[in-house]
Amino acid sequence: MLMTKVEWTRSGVPSKESIIDATAAGMVSRHDDEYHEFVTEITFERAREFLEKMIRLGHDSVLEHIVFQFWVSISRVASHQLVRHRMASYTQKSHRKERILTEEDFVIPDNLSEEDREEWIKDIRQQIAIYEKWLEKGYDADIARRKLPQETRTDLVMTINARSLRNFFKLRAEHVADFEIREMAQKMYHLIKKEQLDFLFYDIGIEN
Ligand SMILES: Cc1cc2nc3c(=O)[nH]c(=O)nc-3n(C[C@H](O)[C@H](O)[C@H](O)COP(=O)(O)OP(=O)(O)OC[C@H]3O[C@@H](n4cnc5c(N)ncnc54)[C@H](O)[C@@H]3O)c2cc1C
């Protein structure tokens, strides 16, 4: 069973034009010509070489012109860690709305033994029963949700620029990070790799 879910939003993949524009932004500082005079000469290959050089030289601010957007579905444990990354924008599913919960609404760790997994799911059913009990008593979801465990699933849309995403990968795609946010970071990276934009992270050791 997949623990975390990560997808591009419809406009989530940075366009080739935005990669070229980030390069043009980097060139503005040195070029004598105006933007529209030199931007047409920048190929994607040239942009790639230039941006890799910017990363090597530590001129990371040009990467702020490249923006990624993901839809993710993770536990409240992981979302709490995620939103500590302040240099990004988030919109998250609210648990203030009353919902009928099932096991699918919880992120169950993959690394449980078969036997323990059953026990884990039994615990989840109990948590759901407790949540429903407080709703049945007439309290609204604001009150009842306080009984939900940290493994409750939440969905969110995250918008993040390439500079901040580099910082996120450095901190969260490494083995020292919690396994769930690490899995999420690695899935993000694999989506980026499929789009051949992984050169923006060439110097970061992302596992798997
Ligand atoms: C393995 C691991 C364990 C962790 N354990 C804990 C823990 O036990 N307790 C805990 O509270 N947190 C913990 N954290 C969270 C960590 O302290 C950071 O809050 C989180 O990783 C976000 O990193 P960031 O501030 O670099 O990211 P962002 O908030 O996205 O910031 C990006 C960069 O912008 C700059 N920046 C942002 N805001 C400011 C500011 N106000 N002033 C100056 N510069 C700024 C910094 O250069 C920063 O690196 C842990 C993180 C990891 C990876």
In whole angstroms, give the CA distance from residue 198 to residue 187: 12
- 113 and 174 in a single domain? The answer is no
Ligand 1: which residue has its CA nearest to atom 2?
177
The DSSP call for residue 203 is: T
- 15 and 79 in a single domain? The answer is yes
CATH code at position 32: 3.30.1360.170
Report yes or no on 193 lying in a domain: yes
Q: Among this protein's residues, is 172 annotated catalytic?
A: yes
- 32 and 121 in a single domain? The answer is no
Report yes or no on 181 lying in a domain: yes
84 lines ligand 1 (CB under 6 A): yes
The DSSP call for residue 152 is: B
Confidence at residue 29, expressed as pLDDT on a 0 to 100 scale: 81
- 71 and 158 in a single domain? The answer is yes
Q: What is the best residue among 61, 87, 175 to mutate for testing ligand 1's pocket, by most ligand atoms within 8 Å of CB? A: 87
Report yes or no on 208 lying in a domain: no
For the whole model, what pTM was predicted?
0.95
Ligand 1: which residue has its CA nearest to atom 28?
85
DSSP string, 43-81: -HHHHHHHHHHHHHHT-GGGGGG-EEEEEEEEEHHHHHH
Total residue count of the chain as it appears in this document:
208
In whole angstroms, give the CA distance from residue 131 to residue 201: 43
Q: Who wins on pLDDT, 174 or 82? A: 82
pLDDT by residue (tens digit) across 60-117?
Answer: 999 999 999 999 999 999 999 999 999 999 999 988 889 899 999 999 999 899 999 9
- 71 and 14 in a single domain? The answer is yes
Average pLDDT, the chain: 95
CA-atom Rg of the chain in angstroms: 21
Ligand 1: which residue has its CA nearest to atom 6?
81
Domain count, the chain: 2
Confidence at residue 168, expressed as pLDDT on a 0 to 100 scale: 98
Confidence at residue 1, expressed as pLDDT on a 0 to 100 scale: 45
Burial 107-122 (b: 16+ CB within 10 A, else e): bbeeeeeeeeeeebee
- 82 and 111 in a single domain? The answer is no
Q: Which domain holds residue 106?
A: 99-147
Report yes or no on 132 lying in a domain: yes
CB 95 within 8 A of CB 156: no
Mean pLDDT across 171-177: 89
Place 208 in a pLDDT band, splitting at 50, 70 and 90.
Answer: low
- 157 and 74 in a single domain? The answer is yes
- Rounded (10°) angle between helices 162-172 and 179-194: 140
Report yes or no on 180 lying in a domain: yes
- 133 and 161 in a single domain? The answer is no
